[in-house]
């Protein structure tokens, strides 16, 4: 019960606390090897009104492209890129990306595989082919997602992740440049814990609760993707209120997670995701990474308004939050207590699964 009380207290503490840091100070994130080079003059860029907000953001946050569109990646020069079944489906339906789908189909048309086994192999190949193209564009990492229908199967998730990594390595790419995306279910988190011990880095996605975040940190996963905008969606629908900036429930959630990780020395990276507006991004400037859609990247690039760092490890160290430990029973109870997290995680898994089925139908029509 003490654990529960502590957890419930986190958001009120984070809601009251406002993160401040010197706008001219550049503080490296967890993984400096993936940072873009910063020139000496970058320390003073906040005062340079000619710099776009996107350029300013890149001073203290790794910017990641949340898209499967290669041209968008080239335009905004992100460090990393993330994909998911929905983004791959959208890209696969565009004429310019049809050749990648056709190549994947051709690779397995006469493989001897049939039925669902053949479809699964082709879908994996599509993911790899898109990933390979993305790795030609970004200098950092690409996230490739495990089939959402495996979200409650630890063993199957581990097996699929190993297959995907093996496919990338066969193409000559180091596993250090690949993040395997897995849904933040208990089974998914346990799969990631196994994979991390094998040197396979994981991105735990569809994360909506503090309990999920703590479990991921204790499993020593590489990175988590809390879904800022989808949290906002739920609260807007539930309360009828509009939220802006630091009052945004998604922003509050990510700040609480970030502060907890930094205060207690967890190495897991925090990557805010699923943004609905630039205000959410601005409020989370300083987060380890932010994965941003092309539309919002364009808005940031169009603005030269000053952008201050809002999240900072030094400020996080002053947070009054207490450390907690979660076993499976405590995790499931606390997770179940968060109606938003339960509903949004389930909804995300269903939607990603539906888009995988749509992609399978597209592939089946081409075999």
Helix extents (H) in the chain: 2-16, 53-57, 70-76, 85-92, 98-109, 115-135, 154-170, 186-197, 210-218, 228-239, 249-263, 278-283, 294-302, 313-316, 328-337, 339-364
**SS3 of residue 219 by DSSP:** coil
Residue with tokens 């269903």: 350
Nearest alpha-carbon partner for 57 in 82, 79, 34, 31: 79
Angle between helices 115-135 and 85-92 in degrees, nearest 10: 90
Residue 81 CB contacts under 8 Å (≥ 6 apart), including other chains? 64, 65, 66, 67, 73, 134, 137, 138, 141, 142, 143
Which residue out of 181, 190, 255, 262 is catalytically annotated? 181
Q: Tokens standing for 249?
A: 């429930």
Q: What is the DSSP string of 60-108?
A: TSEEEEE-S-HHHHHHH--SEEE--HHHHHHHHTSGGGHHHHHHHHHHH
Residue 329 annotated as catalytic: no
Burial of 298 (0-12, 13-18, 19+ CB in 10 A): middle
Residue 260, sorted as left (phi over 0), alpha (psi -120 to 50) or beta, turns out to be: alpha
Q: Tokens standing for 114?
A: 């049939």
Tell how far CA 317 is from the center of its chain.
24
How many CB atoms neighbour CB 153 within 10 A?
Answer: 17
d(CA 243, CA 250) in angstroms, rounded, equals 10
Catalytic residues: 181
């Amino acid at each position: 019960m003490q654990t529960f009380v502590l957890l419930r207290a986190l958001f009120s503490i984070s809601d009251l606390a406002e993160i401040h840091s010197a706008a001219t100070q550049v503080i490296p994130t967890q993984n400096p090897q993936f940072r873009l080079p910063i020139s000496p003059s970058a320390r003073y860029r906040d005062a340079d009104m000619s710099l776009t907000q996107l350029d300013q953001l890149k001073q203290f946050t790794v910017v990641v492209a949340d898209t499967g569109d290669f041209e968008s990646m080239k335009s905004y020069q992100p460090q990393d890129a993330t994909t998911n079944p929905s983004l791959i489906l959208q890209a696969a339906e565009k004429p310019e990306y049809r050749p990648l789908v056709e190549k994947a189909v051709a690779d397995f048309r006469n493989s001897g595989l049939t039925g669902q086994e053949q479809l699964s192999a082709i879908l994996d190949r599509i993911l790899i082919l898109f990933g390979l193209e993305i790795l030609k564009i970004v200098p950092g990492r690409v996230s490739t997602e495990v089939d959402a229908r495996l979200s409650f199967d630890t063993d199957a998730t581990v097996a699929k992740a190993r297959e995907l990594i093996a496919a990338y390595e066969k193409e000559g790419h180091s596993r250090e440049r690949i993040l395997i995306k897995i849904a933040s279910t208990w089974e998914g988190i346990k799969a990631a814990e196994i994979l991390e011990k094998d040197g396979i880095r994981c991105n735990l996605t569809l994360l909506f609760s503090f309990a999920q975040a703590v479990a991921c940190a204790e499993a020593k996963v590489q990175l988590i993707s809390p879904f800022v905008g989808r949290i906002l969606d739920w609260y807007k629908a539930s309360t009828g209120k509009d939220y802006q900036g630091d009052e945004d429930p998604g922003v509050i959630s990510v700040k609480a997670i970030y502060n907890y990780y930094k205060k207690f020395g967890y190495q897991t990276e925090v990557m805010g995701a699923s943004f609905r507006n630039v205000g959410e991004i601005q409020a989370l400037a300083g987060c380890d990474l932010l994965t941003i859609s092309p539309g919002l990247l364009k808005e940031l690039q169009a603005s030269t308004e000053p952008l201050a760092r809002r999240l900072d490890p030094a400020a996080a160290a002053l947070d009054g939050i207490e450390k907690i430990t979660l076993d499976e029973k405590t995790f499931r109870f606390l997770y179940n207590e968060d109606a938003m997290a339960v509903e949004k995680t389930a909804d995300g898994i269903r939607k990603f699964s539906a888009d995988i089925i749509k992609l399978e139908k597209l592939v089946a029509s081409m075999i």
